[in-house]
Amino acid sequence: MAMGHAVVARCMCAASALLCTFGLLGCGKEPTPAPTPAPTPAPMPTLKLTNGVEMPIMSAGVWQYTPEEAEKSVEAALRAGFTHIDTAYDYKNQEGVAKAITSAMKAGKKRESIFITTKVPGCGMQNSSAVSSDACKSDTATRIADDLRQLGVEYIDLLLIHFPPCPGEDGSPQSPMKSKCFADRSGCSQQKSCDMVKAQWAAVSEAYTNKKLKAVGVSNYCSACLACLEGQKPFPMVNQVHFQLGMGPDPQGFRTLAEKKGVVLQAWSPLGSGGNGSDPIMHGNLTTQLGKKYGKSPVQIALKWIVTKNVSVSTKSSNPDHLAQNLDIFDFELGADDMKKLDDATFAAKDEPSFLCRDKAHEPATTEAII
């Protein structure tokens, strides 16, 4: 009988050890709880363009990056959850963007899940001639082909004309600031400028008709430039301009004009200072106080102010944490009183939406960026 008790005891100990192994019995300590899954980020809103294309409201830009830096930045952006990448012919880094997108597709992402925006130069600058309308149209078609080749894609989701033309220039100025049109920012006020706008748009429209472009638009276009395209089909669907907190809610009427024309406004350098961030945004009392109120950073407050106005925004960072923080603005809403406070901020009132044209008398721009 004693032997029987010993056998039972040994069996019970063995069973207890087995249960401990599988964490089914306390055995002197609590089982390790399963890790709490990371919260799913709020989905990124889209803006519907006039042709029905849904454009993610926020993009990750690669201005001023080398091809290698652009590749790493886009890889980090896609990992963070970005679905919209912004580049341009004159950034000279599209091969790096292409490598990152190709890698993502090899890892399982579908091409249609990545919205690609790129740009062609305004005629007269950056290897696009404006000595004649024919030269402008031909060079624009070539630059579109260059974009497709450099990005390694069969189609581009959104192609923009980067800035207004500069008639008479042969394409040799490698920056709009080095063109003869920069000093007075006359934009499209002359008939020759309008002729170039129409010629360039004809090349863009042909590529759109041939399904090489899903959507088309412009950048840094003021009302005179858009007026040159009145009645055109398609009409520009997007106008990417400088728009940031501190410029007011409707600088030079650009936002009102876009809404009137059914054009989506898109913000470059949304944090100011050519994409490097302005001190009043990054460290100012207004954004800092509101950040504390909403549990967000000053940058997130500034970006939220923009997208709340249904303005698309092109951000830029190579820092994975900053990329994730930029995306983390869709889980809260700014109150009406706080939006009014942000609307009334004027620390960037001298900055202009376009660097080659202006819609009314305005002091010279303080921002020196061309992105």
- Stated as kind and residue range, the H or E segment containing 48 is strand 46-48
Which residues, other chains included, contact 234 with Cβ-Cβ below 8 Å and sequence gap of 6+? 50, 51, 205, 208, 216
For residue 238, give the nearest of 250, 254, 252 by alpha carbon.
254
Q: Is 91 a catalytic site residue?
A: yes
Catalytic residue among 91, 155, 221, 294: 91
Return phi, psi of residue 272, to 5°.
Answer: 85, 175
For residue 208, give the nearest of 165, 238, 167 by alpha carbon.
238
HSE, side-chain direction, 13 A CA sphere, residue 317: 20
Tokens of 138: 């031909």
Q: How far is CA 128 from CA 89, 145, 298, in A?
A: 11, 13, 40
Tokens of 6: 């010993």
> What angle is formed at CA 201 by the lines to CA 189 and CA 272, rounded to 5 degrees?
65
Centre a 10 Å sphere on the Cβ of residue 238 and count the other Cβ atoms it contains: 25
309 touches 249 (CB < 8 A): yes
Residue whose entry in the numeric block shows the structure tokens 């309008």: 194
Three-state DSSP class for 97?
Answer: helix
The stretches of 210-261 forming alpha helices (DSSP H) are 223-227, 254-261
Return phi, psi of residue 159, to 5°.
Answer: -115, 130
148 touches 98 (CB < 8 A): no
Is the preceding peptide bond at 234 cis, omega within 30 degrees of 0?
Answer: yes
Give the residue numbers annotated as catalytic, written as ranges.
91
